[in-house]
A and B are shown apart, each in its own frame.
Chain A
Amino acid sequence: MVDGKAQKVQEDRPLRKHETGNPIWTCEGQGLKRLLKAGTAWLERHMEAVNSLNVFPVPDGDTGTNMLLTMQAALEEIANSPEPSVSAIAHAAAHGALMGARGNSGVILSQILRGAARDLDRKHEFNAADLASFMKEATTTAYKGVIKPVEGTILTVVREAAEAAVTVAAEEEDLRLVLEKIVKAAKESVARTPSLLPVLAEAGVVDAGGQGLFIIMEGMLRYIRGETVEVDFALETAVDLHVPSEDEYGYDVQFIIQGQDMNLEEIRDTLAAMGESTLVVGDSTTIKVHIHTEEPGTPLNYGASIGSLSKIIVENMQEQYQEFILSQARPAVTSPVTSEEICGIATVVVAQGPGLVRVFESLGASAVVPGGQTMNPSTEELLKAAENLTDQVIILPNNSNIILAAQQAQKLSEKNIRVVPTKTMPQGVSALLAFNYQADLDTNARVMERAAGEVQTVEITTATRSVQLNGVKVKKGEVIGLLNDSLAVSGRSPEQVIEGVFRQMNVEEYEIITIYYGESVAQEEAEALAARISQDYPEQEIELVNGGQPHYLYIISAE
């Protein structure tokens, strides 16, 4: 397989620790075979975990299975091949993967192998520079297979891993070190997927295909390092969708319901009443459920009454919690990764209401300063929040009255602070979603400001005094609707006002409507409102979030 001592290693015996110190300069056919085997074995161990992440493009929970079947088909093709040349092995593996490709990620995986094989054509072995080259070609080939590549998927992960390969190979020749860097880049890339693909952020997961690819590469690295597959449980905890807090007990239940003409909304509502942290995604034939409950039997029985169940996972959260405590030194991949950890730019967000704070935290805000309408944080509070962070900080004030304080903080601080003048919570959410981990501070500030400008904000509140503004007459106590921070409509009920604002802004032209309901609104009330809106606007995707904000009954974003 490789130069130096490692060449003496028997096929089925992993490298020992003391043998791993030597650099590895090249890899030939049989070495590649063993790498592919190791990657596949590691993927097999994590198949279910990858399945549980699958929400895009169709949430059918089979990404891990499909990728594994594709890799196994590739391995079958090369299992008995004594070919010494890396070109022959790569071509055979690519052919096997092509023939056995299953599912979206399987097809993409087969294209990645195909591109790699093509670049390795006629090569007897590969070195670090060749590795970078074939990963680049693999990326190009993978991207060619689709008209509109969706970022935040396996495509992004292979591209960013290849970019890392090119950078590292320019100054490093030891394949082990190069692979280490590639795997690290892949891991970081996977962690960023929710910021690129909103459906992942909504479901609180990283991309399944991307994670699968990372696991394959990690398996290869583990093989080179001589680590056995038995020792690491980091990945299992890493794919927990939720890190339970100390006061949470009960069970983490996941399953898939398959049936016909299922009513997603109704099922979601029913399940929501059975537990906490409920995640119900899918369509009329396939629904994926994730719920935390004291009685795992209840949602399972309910699911079985609707259709047939598969991929049932029931885990004791208290055990998970203990494991989590033990492994806390290792950050979980899907726990919110703050922007600061990745690229040295921190974000400070002003938000009010526990739900909205959670939203911002899950999007990677480094610090959340409590505040909003009628409760503006001081310049000092903002400075204090920025104090413990890195030298580059972006502040999202999320209220027109706080922008000034933020700008003051910018002037007073020794740090490099930029203020993205967001005036509403939804603008802040859009801005934070646009955050680009690869861009520098100024570019990010610009991109985030533009993103904030693209979202429409509707705020519903009660008038505190009688006024006439923008040609709208308002009596004290009436419900008023603000569109992008200026008064638009007044009326008797929130429903009426929302309808009025929606008509004024031509809400049909937007795709996603997110409703954050405030602390004074009951959940049932908000759900009824959301149901009515989705009935009136069937083309739009309606999302309901418990924002828990004071002052505003509802904050609605349309984009």
Chain B
Amino acid sequence: MTEKTRLGKIEVSPTAIANLASRSVLESYGVVGMSSRSLGSGLADLLRGDSHKRGIEVRLEGDEIIIDLYVIIEYGTRISAVAHNIMSNVKFGVEKSLGLPVAQVNVHVRGVRVSSED
């Protein structure tokens, strides 16, 4: 993502945007983990620490920022509500720091964690 200013241009890499997004995702209620997007088997794993970024894909299509999130959600929460919350949290969080609009936030629920028996 490039922006021109008085002194020169500012370039924000997809990785930087992914970092911003990861912050918002990790603070989103109902998300208990991220899943690596490269796992073809569909096996969701709980990523720790820095590897959260592996569950986030940022694409730039023309001028548009598109963010794909691969998340694991806490069992017993309403998945559609949590997914909506993630979308708006990430969109708001990234736009607030970046100052540029985010065109899409796609949430892929890769797994549900059961942390305790009901």
Chain A interface residues (CB < 8 Å from chain B): 57-60, 98-104, 106-108, 110-111, 114, 118, 141, 144-148, 150, 261, 283-284, 534-536, 538-539, 541
Given A58-B92, A107-B77, A535-B5: A146 and B97 interface contact (C-beta under 8 Å): no
Q: How far is the CA of A110 from the CA of B28 in the complex (A)?
A: 15
Say whether A284 contacts B31, CB under 8 Å: no
Cα A108 to Cα B77 with chains together (Å): 8
Q: Indicate which residue in A99, A147, A536, A541 contacts B26 across the interface (CB closer than 8 Å).
A: A147
Bound form: Cα–Cα A60–B84 in Å: 13
Q: Are B31 and A58 in contact (CB under 8 A)?
A: no
- Which of these, B27, B77, B98, contacts A101 with CB under 8 Å? B77
Q: A106-B81, A144-B116, A535-B6 are in contact. Are A283 and B76 (CB under 8 A)?
A: no
Binding site for A on B (CB under 8 A): 3, 5-7, 10, 12, 16, 24, 26-33, 74, 76-78, 81-82, 85, 88-89, 91-93, 95-99, 101, 115-116, 118
Name A58's contact: one of B33, B88, B99 (CB within 8 Å).
Answer: B88
Given contacts A57-B28, A99-B78, A534-B99, 10 further A-B contacts (CB under 8 A): A57-B24, A98-B76, A98-B77, A100-B78, A103-B85, A107-B81, A118-B116, A144-B115, A147-B26, A535-B6
A107 surroundings in chain B (CB, below 8 A): 29-30, 77-78, 81-82, 85
Residues in chain B near residue A535, CB distance under 8 A: 5-6
Give the distance to chain A from B76, nearest Cβ to Cβ, in Å. 5
Residue picked from A141, A144, A150, most chain B C-beta under 10 Å: A144
Q: Are A538 and B32 in contact (CB under 8 A)?
A: no
A283 to B5, CA, bound (A): 21
Distance (Å) between the CB of A199 and the closest chain B CB?
A: 10
In the complex, how many angstroms separate the beta carbon of B92 from the nearest chain A beta carbon? 4
Minimum C-beta distance from B46 to chain A (A): 10
**With A107-B29, A110-B77, A147-B32 as contacts: A284 and B97 at CB distance below 8 Å:** no
Tell me the nearest residue of chain B to A114, going by C-beta.
Answer: B76
Q: Assess whether B96 is in contact with A57, with CB atoms less than 8 Å apart.
A: no
| A-B residue pair count with CB separations less than 8 angstroms | 93
Chain A residues near B28: list those with CB within 8 A: 57, 104, 146
Q: CA of A104 to CA of B95 in the docked complex: distance in angstroms? A: 19
Does B92 contact A57, Cβ atoms closer than 8 Å?
Answer: yes
The CA of A283 and the CA of B102, in the complex, are separated in Å by 11
Provide the residues of chain B in CB contact with A60, threshold 8 Å. Answer: 88
Question: Is B92 a contact of A261 with CB atoms below 8 Å?
Answer: no
Q: Measured between C-beta atoms, what is the minimum distance from B96 to chain A in Å?
A: 6
- CB-CB nearest 8 A-B residue pairs: A101-B78, A58-B92, A145-B74, A147-B26, A148-B26, A101-B81, A283-B95, A146-B29
Residues on the B chain within 8 Å of A58, using CB:
88-89, 92
Are the CB atoms of A538 and B96 closer together than 8 Å? Answer: no
The closest CB in chain B to the CB of A281 belongs to B96
Which of B26, B27, B101 has a CB less than 8 Å from the CB of A284? Answer: B101
Beyond A107-B29, A145-B29, whether A284 also contacts B95 by CB under 8 A is yes
Can you identify 25 A-B contacts, CB atoms within 8 angstroms?
A: A57-B89, A57-B93, A60-B88, A98-B78, A100-B78, A106-B81, A107-B77, A107-B85, A111-B76, A111-B77, A114-B76, A118-B118, A146-B27, A146-B32, A147-B31, A147-B33, A283-B92, A284-B101, A534-B99, A535-B6, A536-B5, A538-B12, A539-B12, A539-B98, A541-B97
Question: Shortest distance in angstroms between A530's beta carbon and chain B's nearest beta carbon?
Answer: 13
Tell me, in angstroms, the Cα distance from A145 to B74 when the chains sit together.
Answer: 6
Across-interface contacts of B116 in A (CB, < 8 A): 118, 141, 144
Q: Find chain A residues with CB under 8 A from B5 CB.
A: 535-536
Q: Counting chain B CB atoms within 10 Å of each CB, which of A58, A150, A534, A535 scores highest?
A: A58
Establish whether residues A145 and B77, one from each chain, have CB atoms under 8 Å apart when the complex forms.
yes
> CA A283 – CA B105 in complex, angstroms?
15
A108 to B78, CA, bound (A): 10
Which among A59, A101, A103, A261 has the highest number of chain B CB atoms within 10 Å? A101
Contact with A283, one of B6, B27, B78, B96 (Cβ below 8 angstroms)? B96
Report the nearest A residue to B46, measured CB to CB: A147
Q: A58-B89, A104-B85, A283-B96 are in contact. Are A150 and B78 (CB under 8 A)?
A: no
With a cutoff of 8 Å between Cβ atoms, the chain A residues found around residue B30 in the complex are: 107, 145-146
Find chain B residues with CB under 8 A from A150 CB: 27
